[in-house]
Amino acid sequence: MSFAIPFADRLNNVETSAIRELFKLLGKPGIISFAGGFPDSAMFDVEGIREAANAALNEEPGAALQYGATEGYLPLREQLAAFMASKGAAEVAPEQLIVTTGSQQALDLLGKTLISPGDKVIVEGPTFLATIQCFKLYGAELISAPVDGNGVRTGELERLIEQHKPKFVYLIPTFGNPSGAMLSLERRQKVLEMAVRHDTLIVEDDPYGDLYFGDAPPPSLLALSATVPGSRDRLVHCGSLSKVLSPGLRVGWMVGPADLLAKATMCKQFSDAHTSTFAQATAAQYLKAGRMPATLARVRQVYAARAEAMVQALRSELGDAIDFVPPQGGLFVWARLTGADGRVADGAELARRAIDRGVAFVPGAPFFAADPDHATLRLSFATADEDRIREGIARLAQAL
Ligand code: PMP
């Protein structure tokens, strides 16, 4: 007789994502994919990482291959503190951050340490799909705050904070996934002031902040918090090497108030004991060797050209059938179908038609925790070169 696995109730809150189903179709030969959230593997600094891994094994084999501290490998924490200082967050000591297995684990640890079933959490609409699913797994009731071309609308956000008194607010202020939006400096200031005024914890998830195409974005909430008294005590910042160096290394980090980091460290201990010491020692050697600035310059240049190719192609091929704000960084164009001239205005419907024409992208609706906008779509320009991008957008126009 078949056996029914006695799953935990918490799984009732989450289903496998619609996007995962779409990914099954990507194996079709010849398909041009704008669907993934990946950086381009052709951009990995393989030589630099090889040298860093060799240095880790030559100089510190015991540390690189042994169990390590749950908080993270101290030389890496020092390098990460210096990396953040180079971006304006000057006074974060290595002890004020913990290393996580990707920033995804930081999100999971926040769920574990902060969310009890029924707790309210405010996220952006749209926001990172894995965050929605992770927080729901811990029983959060998610409230969606509207976003425009300048990021989350702070007036609406403040109203929602007053109304719902959330456990915390989760934001991706810089080149968010999927919105690509960049929160303006003025709004960043407002978010931090709001945190203090309403005694609300803010989580800043920042895996894309280094991937800007022109001018640098405004300082992170973490960097700005130095100028807003009291805000640092109410702020968590999650960083990641995934988008700029390698997601396979699984190196992320979390800066936050000491008591929160202590509880998160305890939970991490029960989860994976620590992030791979070999990956941490390799990342530390990579940063120490001073390779990051050149790597960042290279990836910014390549993604900027691809973003530009996609923006131009969308404008010339789709015209007024699509509406979007050209991204200033990150990996995504977030767009809305206008339905002009009676054309398709449903992202999921267009995604199905597009697969038949040999191009894939992700419909936008699943990225909303509430009130999905079905006319939206997310197009990643990261993994196809400019010619393939132009060809892919031409196919998209046919599908439309
Ligand atoms: N946050 C956001 C907004 C992301 O887009 C991603 C990766 N897609 C992550 C966190 C997790 O990245 P990682 O675990 O590789 O650091």
Q: Where does residue 343 fall: left (phi above 0), alpha (psi -120 to 50 degrees), or beta otherwise? A: beta
**With a 6 A CB cut-off, is 363 part of the ligand 1 pocket?**
no
Q: Which CATH class is domain 47-290?
A: alpha beta
Decide whether 14-44+294-399 matches 47-290 in CATH topology.
no
Q: How far apart are CA 184 and CA 180, in angstroms?
A: 13
Q: Does CATH place domain 14-44+294-399 in 3.40.630.10?
A: no
List the residue whose alpha carbon is closest to atom 13 of ligand 1: 102
**With a 6 A CB cut-off, is 72 part of the ligand 1 pocket?**
no
Q: How far apart are CA 37 and CA 380, in angstroms?
A: 7
**With a 6 A CB cut-off, is 128 part of the ligand 1 pocket?**
yes
Domain boundaries, the chain: 14-44+294-399, 47-290
pLDDT tens across the length of the chain (400 residues): 799 999 999 998 887 766 666 666 677 789 999 998 899 999 999 999 999 999 999 999 999 999 999 999 999 999 999 999 999 998 899 999 999 999 999 999 999 999 999 999 999 999 999 999 999 999 999 999 999 999 999 999 999 999 999 999 999 999 999 999 999 999 999 999 999 999 999 999 999 999 999 999 999 999 999 999 999 999 999 999 999 999 999 999 999 999 999 999 999 999 999 999 999 999 999 999 999 999 999 999 999 999 999 999 999 999 999 999 999 999 999 999 998 888 889 999 999 999 999 999 999 999 999 999 999 999 999 999 999 999 999 999 999 9
List the residue whose alpha carbon is closest to atom 8 of ligand 1: 37
What's the 105 CA to ligand 1 centre distance in angstroms? 9
Q: What is the pLDDT of residue 13?
A: 82
Which of 23, 38, 177 most suits a substitution to test ligand 1, by most atoms within 8 Å of the C-beta? 177
**With a 6 A CB cut-off, is 180 part of the ligand 1 pocket?**
no
Kindly report each contact of residues 336-345 with a partner whose C-beta sits within 8 Å and lies 24 or more positions away, as own/partner.
336/364, 336/373, 336/375, 336/376, 336/377, 337/375, 337/376, 337/377, 337/400, 338/375, 339/375, 343/400, 344/399, 344/400, 345/374, 345/375
Report pTM.
Answer: 0.97
What's the 313 CA to ligand 1 centre distance in angstroms? 27
Q: What is the pLDDT of residue 25?
A: 66
Q: Ligand 1, residue 106: give the atom nearest the CA.
A: 14
Q: Ligand 1, residue 172: give the atom nearest the CA.
A: 3
What's the 244 CA to ligand 1 centre distance in angstroms? 12
Q: How far apart are CA 291 and CA 367, in angstroms?
A: 35
**With a 6 A CB cut-off, is 33 part of the ligand 1 pocket?**
no
Q: Ligand 1, residue 176: give the atom nearest the CA.
A: 3
